[in-house]
Chain A
Amino acid sequence: MTLAVETAAPERMQRRELSDRAFAWLLIAPALLFIAVIVVWPLIETIRLSFTDATLGGENWVGAANYTVLFGDPKFWQTVGRTFYWMVLAVSLKLVVGLIGATLLNAAIPGKALFRVLVMPPWVIPVAIGVIGWKWMYNGYFGLISGLLQEFGLVQDRVALLATKTSAFYSAIVTDVWVGTPMVTLFFLAAMQGVSKDLYEAAWVDGAGRWYRFRRITIPQIMPVIVSMALLSAIWTFNSFEIIWILTEGGPRGATTTLIIDTYKVAISAQRFGEGAARAVVIVVLLASFSLFYLWFLNRVNRRYGAK
């Protein structure tokens, strides 16, 4: 059979080539259609709407007025700052906790197969369900966390963690880290298992300790995965809606309002479509430039650490 391929294939392949192009486009056409209708067209519409004062009633072209108002609003810049702070803090924590988790799950101990399964539930269930659980735990009257804090004598009274600005923000971060950690952990774990054993053995023979091997072999070897998980987590965290919406709806007094929450409130809750669209465009521009910068960075990391 192999012989037949070698003799007959080239000629047939050539004839097939032209039709292959058409065939390829035919194959990806349904996917393209979906993306065109559900992503590309709405994106173009969002850009157009951002130059109008559209509401449910109708729309007029207002030029860049939405943007001028938006950029002149100090609250908006606060929201931008808060969003990036939210993103950087949550992503760093996810990476650190994920790295620790993956290292633990990678250790040669009895029971590790079970532990690996036990990490997954937050990833498998609907995000909203897990967050409802957290909302209960944060509540001040009979929530677990408030109860434990009292139990250990850390606070005198009940603390409603979602009711004050600072505690609400960090509570939302903890929940976001909880949602994102399992996936980060599992990808790090898979990457760690893919590191060639020879490297460790060579270092071990040379007398390198565990910590040294972790720092000098594990981390560099899985660096490409760390960097790409960081990008994915950053995009998800930036876009994260359900967690904040269910916990606080952006409150108290805007303390947990990120750009996505702000956009949703203006565009959907208040139905000020034009202003909402301007915010959405800002999000797209910020995310796109952030991602491009990051991909450039990823490329450099990959080159440096010799991955494909």
Chain B
Amino acid sequence: MQIDKLSFLQKIGVYIATFFFLLFILMPFIEMIRVSLRPMSHLMTAEFSWWSEDFSLQAYRDMWNTVPLLGRYIFNSIFVASAVTVITMIVVIPAAYAYARLDFPFKSLSLGGFLAVNMFTGAVLLIPLYRVLRSLGMLNTYWAMIIPGVAFLIPTGIWLLRSYLEKIPRELEEAAFVDGASRLYTLRRVVIPLAVPGLIVVGTAVYIGAYAQQFLFAITFNNVREIQPLPAGLFEFVGYQDTTWNELMAAALTGITPVMIVFLFLQKFLVAGLTAGAVKE
């Protein structure tokens, strides 16, 4: 369109500015890759240098010895995030449907209450949460990381999914009622199938939240190494004098690769859906 057209100089300007913006965003990743490809002894030499002749994949081999549980950490991270996502969706789907379709007393008040949960993070409630989890016998188990994770993602899940369900035409459900279907049947057989795109978007958003937030609950409620998720597992190696940073970076990059690949496939879907759900028309 004519109005959006940029002159040649303006285009150059936009590219340069975009370059610096993306440089800021991607710098840690670039640096992590650079570090992971260099031997430790060369990283510690006096002169800082961008390029060197000694790039190698050695750190990617050695990391399995330095971080022997790396495979477990990656699995744990994905497992915890997946479990959180599944449980959250099971809880959120009926609740979001209730808020999207039904009228009941205290509807907006209780929805406001759910949203108010977003104000807290686990950090404020750690002490009693620790006791609750202990009395439920969940400390030092996967549940200690899953259950709090679910609770703090429920509000956002309800909020996002509700706006999706509201867009599904009511006529379809009403037609099912007329045919004598129950509410539950309609939810299962009419609403959920129609909401699949929305469910994928909300599920991905919940997954990202669950995957990103594992650190606090893991370091506080779990001290069993074998079930530690990736961020908490790697944190153990940070800050010692003899931290082998190149292997740590190699492990971190390897650890996030599976989820990054999945995300690349889902990204278009996710961003469009997530922002459409959250931004009011």
Contacts and interface: CB of A to CB of B under 8 A. Distances in A.
Nearest to A282: B124
A31 to B, nearest CB: 4
Contact of B132 (A38, A142, A147, A182): A38
B123 A263 contact: yes
A28 B111 CA distance: 10
A219 interface: no
A38 B234 CA distance: 27
A38 B148 contact: yes
A24 to B, nearest CB: 4
A12 B180 CA distance: 10
Nearest to B275: A190
B25 A132 contact: no
B231 interface: yes
Contact of B178 (A12, A130, A204): A12
Contacts of A39: 117, 120, 125, 151-152
Interface in B12-39: 14-15, 17-18, 21-22, 24-29, 31-32, 35
A21 B177 contact: no
Contacts of B196: none
B214 interface: yes
Contacts of A118: 22, 25-26
Given A46-B124, A126-B211, A280-B127, A9 B25 contact: no
Interface string B251-276: 01001100110011001000100111
B21 A104 contact: yes
Given A28-B94, A31-B154, A42-B132, A241 B121 contact: yes
B222 interface: no
B125 A141 contact: no
Contacts of A122: 25, 28
B92 interface: yes
Interface in B62-107: 77, 90-92, 94-95, 97-99, 102-105, 107
A122 B263 CA distance: 12
A107 B6 contact: yes
A2 B92 CA distance: 30
A58 interface: no
B235 A132 contact: yes
A146 B123 contact: no
Main SS class of interface, A: helix
A100 interface: yes
Contacts of B141: none
B227 interface: no
A121 B26 contact: yes
A26 B27 CA distance: 49
Interface in A177-214: 178, 181-182, 186-187, 189-191, 194, 197, 200-201, 204
A267 B21 CA distance: 39
Interface of A: 1-2, 4-5, 8-9, 12-13, 16-17, 20-21, 23-28, 30-32, 34-35, 37-39, 41-43, 45-46, 49, 54, 97, 100-101, 104-105, 107-109, 115-130, 132-137, 141-142, 144, 146-148, 150-151, 178, 181-182, 186-187, 189-191, 194, 197, 200-201, 204, 224-225, 232, 235, 239, 241-242, 246, 260, 263-264, 267-268, 273, 276-277, 280, 283-284, 287-288, 291, 307-308
Given A1-B178, A30-B94, A31-B92, 18 more contacts: A21-B104, A24-B107, A31-B154, A35-B151, A38-B125, A38-B147, A38-B148, A42-B132, A46-B127, A49-B127, A115-B22, A127-B215, A137-B28, A142-B44, A144-B48, A187-B278, A189-B275, A190-B276
Interface of B: 1, 3-6, 11, 14-15, 17-18, 21-22, 24-29, 31-32, 35, 43-45, 48, 77, 90-92, 94-95, 97-99, 102-105, 107, 110, 113-114, 116-121, 123-132, 147-148, 150-152, 154-155, 158, 171, 174-175, 177-178, 183-184, 208, 211-216, 220, 229-232, 234-235, 238-239, 245, 248-249, 252, 255-256, 259-260, 263-264, 267, 271, 274-276, 278-281
